[in-house]
Amino acid sequence: MKHIVFATLMSAAAVTASAQDVNIYSSRQPELIDPILAAFTAETGITANVVFLKSGMLERLRAEGRRSPADVILTTDIANLDAMVQAELTQPVQSDVINANIPASYRDAGNQWFGLTSRARIIYASNERVADGEITSYEQLAAPEWAGRICVRSGTHDYNIALTAAYLLQHGEAETIAWLEAYKANLARAPQGNDRAQVKAIWAGECDIAIGNTYYMGKMLADPEQIPWASSVDLIFPSLNENGTHINLSGMAMTASAPNPENAQLLMEFLTEGIAQSLYAEANFEYPLKADVAPSELVASWGAFTADPTPLTDIAKLRGAALRLVERVDFDG
């Protein structure tokens, strides 16, 4: 922890308002974005200064106000991007380059934020105890045959709230409450841990299926201790209301107070181009959003799927309602 704080302070000290700089607040780990920023600097001559903020980005920007040195924010989850917009901490970016590279469903209609990569919220299933085709939808998480067989992290975590909000949008409040209640009744244990902990529980025989993001498979395969966990499961891309698999994204926005807006736009455009899309997606085992950029060989090996085309902004609007329903059924209790 001390190392992370020190690195953040050192990065903050390097932030300037030079005409040859662009300043970034990022919740993405430095090792993920440093190679991309190096490529940007090599191409443009613009120095990219990064402050890594594991949490508290919105609060920091709000406290800094017009004095903030930040030009661009890089973060994950539609909830964080939407919260920045609602707090009036971003500004619109008019860019034909970005709009050509990023599909409309993965960018704000008012050009306040733009997606960079996507990840799917999938089902990890025991390859010993779950048959092919036994579960194909999120709705089936509530089916009685899964009683005592499901593991999941907290229902109030952003990843799960986003899925519940998507369910609420598709099925309405009454059906969502019934789904949450039955889903909770099927849990093998109280919600706990992170997504990888659920896969470990499958490996240990505590449950047969778990909900998690796709990129955790890549992270587990990169860790010798966790390879056995990853090898114990198959990846299933379930459908929601027969529309496709629920996804979320990592994204970017220009801050309302950006001191270097021209450089910021150049960086944002660069991040949507082929080389950056490929590097950015591969570094975190995610899916590029530019249509002609293929995922890494490893990510592609997990299989093709149809993404739910529902605009993420529509899902984001229901996150508050989704949280209230999760708390109403005491999902974590």
3-state helix, strand, coil in the chain (%, to 5): 45, 20, 35
Instruction: Sort strands 150-151 and 114-126 into parallel, antiparallel or unpaired.
Output: unpaired
pLDDT at 19: 62
- Check whether 6 has a pLDDT greater than 60: no
Contacts of 115 (CB under 8 A, 6+ apart): 102, 106, 107, 249, 250, 251, 289, 312
Q: 2-118+248-295 and 120-246+308-328: same fold? A: yes
The domain made up of 2-118+248-295 is a member of CATH 3.40.190.10: yes
Range with lowest mean pLDDT among 130-134, 202-206, 249-253, 280-284 = 280-284
The answer to which of 14-28, 160-174, 202-216, 303-317 has the lowest mean pLDDT is: 14-28
Angstrom CA distances, 107 to 114, 183, 259, 264, 287, stand at 4, 31, 23, 17, 15
Q: Which of 110, 40, 119, 71 is nearest to 252 (CA)?
A: 71
Find the mean pLDDT for residues 5-17: 39
Cβ–Cβ < 8 Å for 54, 5: no
Nearest to 288, CA basis, from 117, 33, 129: 117
Model confidence at 5, pLDDT cuts 50, 70, 90, reads: very low
Q: Which residues of 275-300 are buried (b: 16+ CB within 10 A; e: fewer)?
A: ebbbbbbbbbbbbbbbeebebbeebe
Q: With respect to CATH, is domain 120-246+308-328 assigned 3.40.190.10?
A: yes
- Residue-wise pLDDT tens digits, 147-181: 999 999 999 999 999 999 999 999 999 999 999 99
Taking the C-alpha atoms of residue 240 and residue 237, their distance in angstroms, rounded to an integer, is 10
Name the pairing type of β-strands 114-126 and 233-236: antiparallel
* Spatial separation of the C-alpha atoms in residues 202 and 232, rounded to whole Å: 7
Give the residue from 294, 298, 217, 285 showing the smallest Cα distance to 250.
Answer: 285
How far is residue 23's CA from residue 10's CA, in Å, rounded to a whole number?
Answer: 14
Are 286 and 122 a contacting pair, CB within 8 Å?
no
Q: Are 23 and 72 spatial neighbours (Cβ–Cβ below 8 Å)?
A: yes
Secondary structure element (H or E) that encloses residue 116, with its range: strand 114-126
Question: Which pTM value belongs to this model?
Answer: 0.89
Q: Which pLDDT score is estimated for 30? A: 82
Q: At 280, list the tokens.
A: 């950015």
**Which helix (H) or strand (E) element contains residue 324?**
helix 319-328
Contact 120, 246 (CB under 8 A): yes
pLDDT digits 0-9 by tens, 275-295: 999 998 998 899 999 999 999
Q: Is the pLDDT of residue 9 over 50?
A: no
Nearest CA among 18, 27, 31, 32 for reference residue 69: 18
Amino acid code (one letter) for 129: R
Q: What is the pLDDT of residues 53-91, one digit of tens each?
A: 989 999 999 999 999 999 999 999 998 999 999 999 999
- Residue 119 sits at φ, ψ, to 5 deg, of -140, 150
- Range in 15-24, 75-84, 323-332 with the lowest mean pLDDT: 15-24
User: What's the distance, Cα to Cα, between the start and end of the chain in Å?
Assistant: 30
Q: What is the domain partition of the chain in residue ranges?
A: 2-118+248-295, 120-246+308-328
Q: Which of 13-17, 73-77, 136-140 has the lowest mean pLDDT?
A: 13-17
